[in-house]
Structure 1
Amino acid sequence: MSGKVFLIGAGPGDPDLLTVKALKVLQTADVVVFDRLVSPEIMALIPAATRRVSVGKTSGFHSVPQDRINALLVDLAREGHTVARLKGGDPLIFGRGSEEAEELAVAGVPYVYVPGITAAQGAAGSTGVPLTHRGLATGVRYVTGHRARDAGLDLDWKSLADPDTTLVVYMGAANMAEIAAQLIAHGLAIDTPVLAVAHATTPREMRMLSTLAHVAADLAKGPMEAPVLFMIGRVVSLYSTAALPLPARAPTLRVVRNG
């Protein structure tokens, strides 16, 4: 007997931003296989009797390798379980959801995508900084600032250094010095504003305002706990006037302004 796997986006962390469909699946699934970045507020919505399997990853350490996660999902479904595969943000934006779907398809296991609000959208809504804004940004790009097995970054820096585009960097804290240097070397102004947001939309949210020239040094002065998202571009200039208050019980806003 075969079960089914739901590849679910948990959103950026605020349980109120979880989709209705995702909540229904979490409350009826037999097993929840979850990542480290899923917030405790989201995990609290899962019934206490539901089996939970942690497959969390941190930079440089994978508690469960991806191939074993793939096999686990297949095995659980073949046992007849309804499986909720829970990922932070959206499963199709740096979430490796499509890799797991490929394995499920090969194994003949039915699966369903349940989209989630990605971290960039959550951070934009939480901070009040738009991803696009007339006269400031005509487009937005999402890139990852970290590669598997700590391989070097291989990005199209020339196209990313576009002053008319908002650049959002996921998982980039460890490589921000290189990212900033490459963007500057390929033409982006050194005073381009940068907003770093950690744990966006949750009570643990922290923000740091900087510039492309100083963001790496500012991070070194006050490291931010992962996950950290970087919003780079002219839209960040709206932060001082559009900033929304931090969520209740959040740490004090840490703002670094450099010339």
Structure 2
Amino acid sequence: MAIHPTAIVDKNAKIGKGNEIGPYVIIEGNVTIGDNNHIYPHAFIGENTTIGDNNEIHMGAIVGHFPQDKAFKKDSKTFLVMGNNNTIREYVTIHRGTEPESTTKIGDHCLIMGGAHIAHDCQVGNGVIMANMSGIAGYVQIEDNAILSGGSMIHQFVRIGKLAILSGNCRINMDVPPFLIAGERNQTWGVNLVGLKRAGFSKQQIRDLRKLYGLYTKSGSKQKMIEAIEQEDFSNSQEFIDHFVQFIQTSERGACFQQ
């Protein structure tokens, strides 16, 4: 383990094996850092933050600081939990929860690019990519392997579905269903073909999801969509069809739609 002499590490922080902690890094109290992480110069790790193994936290990143929420009280004990094998690039900001005992969570194998922002109480899955200057407001949920292109702005309480991809500079304040392309202001533009192929979906599964998208855009209501789906043979893709339908059924903000 190498800790640069200019780094400030609280005596109550728990630091694992094989970590590299660069110049002028600040690590506050009640922080737990696993093994083989690389924390670059001038990064800040706030109190009540837990970081797993094999993460990279680059220059100027702020991980686990106070939320930007007027409801937050500075004596509240709130948390940030980050998994393994994540890359947090320059000047990213990730804030811990707002209410006492609440937690912001980041999964594994995420790439959060320069200047991106993850607000309080967000739940970010595995394999998520947030490109430069994208931002998610409080309580946003992002499912596994979703991609937010540069400058994407996501309203609080929105959900982004599995393997969805958002175009650059979009403004989203409704839920984005799994497997779709979304952009502009709550628009959907079809199925994320490139992402599905890269994820190993078969040709039949991709055909099924394209058919599902047609049913979604033409049915006019959740109930009619479900009735139309029940008339189709989606046996090769049932897991993904069920996930899509469950996502739509549980949407509280309403789901983005073709425009």
TM-score w.r.t. the length of structure 2 is: 0.27
Greater radius of gyration (CA):
2
Question: Relative to total residues, which structure has the larger strand share, 1 or 2?
Answer: 2
TM-score w.r.t. the length of structure 1 is: 0.27
Question: Relative to total residues, which structure has the larger helix share, 1 or 2?
Answer: 1
